[in-house]
Amino acid sequence: MGAAPLRRSVATAGGLALVITLAACGGRQATEVTTSSAPPLNATVTTDPPPVAATTTATMAPTTTTPASTTPTAATTTTAATTTTAAPTTTLPSATAVTTPGDYVDQDLVIHLTFRSEVDDVSTEQFEAIAMATLTDARGWGPAGFTFVVDNTSDLTVVLAEPGRVDELCLPLETKSYASCQNGAVVALNAVRWRSATSDWDSTVDEYRRYLVTHEVGHLIGLRHPQERCPAGAPKSAVMEPQTGGLVCPGNGWPLKWEIDWAMNRPAVVGPLPSWDGPRPEWP
Ligand SMILES: [Zn+2]
């Protein structure tokens, strides 16, 4: 990365801005994503449905009322204020850090992540190391053009917390003290699930943790649940299928080949809010 990076701002659907950095890497252009314009916490995300949810997808109906905390407080967003439109602050953005669709297609993305553990016990102490090992594993999202780096200045945050705290971070999504979610710039992982997976999980806790990280960070990079779950002949679950609320196919913590292909042709979204209604893929 010897070339001086070019810095640019991309206006979002909500009139806010996502600051990105373009850096030349061996002839290929990588876009570094270090912040989203989402209110850092108390915001919104995509959730794994809790068990016995009637549907297999998270409820992402646009919220018509705006939380009082919608006004961004992060100073980082002000650096790109020149792109801000006259959108009223009372309007909830359709997606937090959504760029113009297509902006990121055919570009590699470097996603900067802050990790924060709000729990402290022996079974969670390796949280950051385990999560990063998952995100940098060759079986993960890397082949789709994503690189993940630890950067504690980034707004994009992966939090491990007890269920009640996850519920708070995920609102307006309902995680019911059981599930985890992605909500704008925040990925909130349920520490009880991290410790012990689920009652019907059919593999190791390690594999569940890989699923949890790959799935929720998959939402962070703009991926949604498939249109159907585990069609006939599918050997195992797609990683973007919700697997916390009950398994249909065998549990799986890595993207299937078609999910990698899908992620390579992804919509241009980082840190979407629950109201974002992006495309859902079909099994090939
Ligand atoms: Zn999900």
Structural domain spans, the chain: 6-264
Ligand 1 centroid–CA 134 distance in Å is 17
- pLDDT confidence bin for 108, thresholds 50/70/90: confident
pLDDT of residue 215: 98
How far does residue 179's CA lie from ligand 1's centre (Å)? 9
Question: For residue 103, how far is its CA from the centre of ligand 1 (angstroms)?
Answer: 24
Pick the residue with more confidence: 58 or 241?
A: 241
Give residue 181 CA to ligand 1 midpoint distance, Å: 7
Q: How far is the CA of 105 from the centre of ligand 1 (A)?
A: 22
CA of 24 from ligand 1 middle (Å) equals 33
Distance 51 CA to ligand 1 centre (A): 12
| Ligand 1 midpoint to CA 78 (Å) | 31
Q: How confident is the model at residue 174 (pLDDT cuts 50, 70, 90)?
A: very high
Specify the pLDDT at position 29. Answer: 60
Q: Percent of the chain scored above 90 by pLDDT? A: 52
Residue 112 alpha carbon to ligand 1 centre in Å: 21
Per-residue confidence band for 70, with pLDDT thresholds at 50, 70 and 90: very low
Checking if the pLDDT of 56 tops 70, the result is: no
- pLDDT at residue 83, rounded to an integer: 36
pLDDT tier at 268 (50, 70, 90 boundaries)? low
Mean pLDDT value across residues 213-234: 94
Residue % of the chain over a pLDDT of 70: 63
Query: The tokens of 100 are what?
Result: 């113009």
Q: Please enumerate in sequence order all residues whose Cβ is within 8 A of that of 56, keeping only pairs 6 or more positions apart, or say none.
A: 49, 225, 229, 241, 242, 245
Whole-number pLDDT of residue 167: 98
The β-bridge relationship of strands 181-183 and 157-161 is: unpaired
Indicate if the pLDDT at residue 23 is higher than 70.
no
Taking the centre of ligand 1 as the mean of its atom positions, its distance from the CA of residue 194, in whole angstroms, is 15
pLDDT: which is higher, 107 or 69? 107
* CA of residue 47 to ligand 1 center, whole Å: 5
Q: What is the distance in A from the centroid of ligand 1 to the CA of 85?
A: 31
Fold for the domain defined by 6-264: Collagenase (Catalytic Domain) (3.40.390)
Highest mean pLDDT among 4-8, 67-71, 97-101, 241-245: 241-245
Q: Which alpha helices (DSSP H) does the chain contain, by range?
A: 127-135, 163-170, 191-196, 205-220, 257-264
Q: What is the mean pLDDT of residues 106-123?
A: 91
| 256: pLDDT strictly greater than 80 | yes
Q: Which residues make Cβ contacts (< 8 Å) with residue 233, sequence separation at least 6?
A: none
**Mean predicted confidence (pLDDT) in 190-219:** 98
Asked if 276 and 94 touch (Cβ cutoff 8 Å), the reply is: yes
Return the higher-pLDDT residue of 153 and 90.
153
Name, of 33-42, 75-84, 87-96, 118-127, the range with top average pLDDT.
Answer: 118-127
CA of 219 from ligand 1 middle (Å) equals 7
Sequence-distant (6+) residues with CB within 8 A of 95 are 12, 13, 14, 269, 271, 272, 273, 275, 276, 278
